[in-house]
Every structure is written in structure tokens, then in C-alpha cells.
Amino acid sequence: MLNAARSHSPARVAMLQWTAGLGAVTAEALAVREDLTVASARARLLAAERAQLLLRCRPLAGEPALYALTSAGMRATGLRGLEPCRVSAANAAHAIACAGAAAVLERGYPDHRVLGERELRRDERDRGARLASACLGRGANGASLLHRPDLVLWPRRSAAGLPVAVEVELTVKAPRRLLGICRAWARCRCVAGVVYLAAPAVEHPLRRAVEQVRAGSRIVVVPLDSLGARELDGRSSGRTVAVDA
């Protein structure tokens, strides 16, 4: 695997590794992350597609195309243990939002690494312990039922404190499930706190759930649009979101 990674430029390998961690990315998100124009970012992704390292998919009309790794692309990353991503109409909007949020957070918080849910799942499996996930209880077999965040802001220095979980919430969950997740985050001590990046329709029920479980000191609800992701034309807006949850 490492030999495969060496056959590509460092910039391409880094792009593929970032894609592997998130599952799928957009040209708009890559442009923010790399401080490029959207046209330049798209050209890089299309070049990787022509090299059969990425697969382009656009299941939602009027929304950006998503790029996910092929088997060859995964081999080129030199990474192990990451699950492949299958883009569909059902998960495309969330994938687009997560890629955009990850890019903006990376630019806004250079002293943190931004991990995707796939990377967290791999790392927790390898370590055999929860690193940034909430425990919802026990299953019938006694195993922990975990809820993993969409993204994790991880301090680059181990002495800098615990990670911050980031949830990208586009749709309203069933009230009972939402309360259970918020309650689990409220008692989770492997993260410094939780930031919910919420779509407009989700903000009110989410804030109500946080109040009901008295988790205001652990969970912060932030409008997704406050990241500036919808206004970005391929360059960082310079705006940041407080994550001192």
C-alpha cells in the first residue's frame, strides 16, 4: 500500500487521504481547504477521476458533485481500515454538508485535526476503546451501543485537551431518539463538548432537547449557515465558530 502511495504526488495523496477520512468530498470543500478557486479544485478531482482513483457522483440536481474513492484510490492513500463510501440520493446532502463543514473547520482551527466518522470508527476499533463517541447504553449482547459524531476536532498536541465532537444535523430526528443522543453526549467525558451545526428546521427541536436533558453546558447548537459554507466561492471566509463547549 505504501508503495502505491509513493507513485502519486504528495498533494494528490493528501487529497485522497482527506477524501478517505470523510468518505466523499466536493470541489467546493476542497477549494476551501486548499485555498483554491473552485475551478482549480475541480480540475484536481477530475484528474484523479481520470486516473481511476475517484468516482464522481451527482445524485442531487442543483447540488455539487461528490467524489469518493475507488479501490485503486484507497490503495493509493496508503491507509488501512477505512470503510468505503457509497454515495446515494439518501446520503448526498449530508455528505456535502460534512465535507464543507470539515473544510471550514480545518481552515478556522489549524491547531486541530478534523477527523471524519470513518477515521474515528477505525481508531476506536484499533484501540478497543471509545475516543470521541457517546454511549447510548447496552445492546442485547451486552455490547455498548455507540453514537459517533460526524466530525471530530482533535487537538494536534496531546496536552491541549480533549477533542470536540461535531454533529452536522440536517433533518429532525424522532424526539425520543434525539433526547437519548443528547443525554448520552451530556454524560460523555471523552470529549470536551459537542457542537451541533444545525439546519434551520432542526435548530428549535434540537435546542429544546438540549434544554430537556439540561445539557447546555456540554452541547452548543450553532446554525450551519454561520460557517459561511453557502456563501463561499472557493476561498475561506475567515469566520470561525466557537468550540469551547
* 233 domain residue, yes or no: no
Domain that holds residue 7: 2-227
Determine the average pLDDT of the residues in 155-171: 90
- Average confidence (pLDDT) over 183-205: 96
pLDDT at residue 244 greater than cutoff 90: no
Q: Phi first, then psi: what are they for 64, rounded to 5°?
A: -60, 155
Do the beta carbons of residue 98 and residue 116 sit within 8 Å?
yes
In a domain, 165, yes or no: yes
**What is the predicted pLDDT for the residue at 6?**
56
Reported in sequence order, the residue ranges of the chain that DSSP labels E, i.e. its strands, are 24-25, 54-57, 66-69, 112-116, 134-138, 144-147, 151-155, 164-169, 193-198, 219-223
pLDDT of res. 1: 44
Residue 168 lies in a domain: yes
237 in a domain, yes or no? Answer: no
Q: Residue 192 corresponds to which cell in the numbers above?
A: 470536551
Query: What was the pLDDT predicted at 243?
Result: 44
Domain count, the chain: 1
Of 53, 41, 55, 56, residue with least CA distance to 7? 53
Residue 241 in any domain: the answer is no
Nearest one of 90, 166, 102 to 134, comparing CA atoms: 166
Structural domain contains residue 232: no
Q: What does pLDDT average to over the chain? A: 89
What HEC string does 182-207 produce?
HHHHHHCCCCCEEEEEECHHHHHHHH
Does 236 map to a domain? no
In a domain, 171, yes or no: yes
Q: What is the CATH number of the domain that holds 174?
A: 1.10.10.10
